[in-house]
């Protein structure tokens, strides 16, 4: 249930950015909505770890080049095969998160093969998980 709400939040944020809005709203845990301002200093770029043809494929690995002034930045990847939510994973991209644990493996128990369309969301929170803020998004296709 959380995953679907999160994916919807990511989609809404993407639409606000696409429409030129500088401010969107995000909520966490039923708390009062707080303004989220997309920062010009935040960035998110997919890095293909083991692709031999410049394309992400099912079962391969990716990571991200992240630019963020936030103390605690995370990247969440959601992938869909058509309307079926097939993959979700979040990793930290801040000082203290193990460097060797910033790689995403493009497969899951639900996603056992085939192509998918994915969205990566760069977000930040406080150390206790409060104050969720969307910072940047990017989309990419994963080939079979």
Q: What does CATH list as the number for 2-142?
A: 2.60.40.3760
Residues of the chain with pLDDT below 70 are: 1-40
Radius of gyration of the chain (CA): 15
* pLDDT in the model for residue 40: 54
* pLDDT in the model for residue 32: 36
* pLDDT in the model for residue 100: 85
What is d(CA 108, CA 86) in angstroms, rounded to the nearest whole number?
7
pTM over 0.85, yes/no: no
Q: Where are the domains of the chain?
A: 2-142
* pLDDT in the model for residue 142: 98
């Amino acid at each position: 249930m959380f995953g679907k709400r999160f994916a919807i939040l990511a989609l809404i944020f993407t639409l606000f950015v696409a429409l030129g809005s500088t401010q969107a709203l995000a909520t966490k845990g039923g708390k009062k909505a707080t303004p989220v301002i997309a920062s010009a200093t935040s960035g998110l770029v997919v890095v293909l770890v083991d692709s031999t043809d410049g394309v992400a494929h099912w079962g391969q690995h990716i990571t991200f080049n992240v630019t963020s002034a936030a103390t605690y930045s995370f990247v969440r990847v959601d992938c869909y095969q058509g309307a079926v939510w097939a993959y979700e994973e979040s990793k930290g991209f801040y000082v203290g998160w193990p460097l060797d644990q910033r790689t995403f493996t493009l497969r899951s128990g639900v996603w056992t093969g085939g192509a998918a369309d994915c969205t990566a969301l760069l977000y930040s929170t406080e150390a206790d998980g409060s104050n969720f803020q969307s910072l940047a998004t990017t989309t990419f296709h994963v080939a079979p």
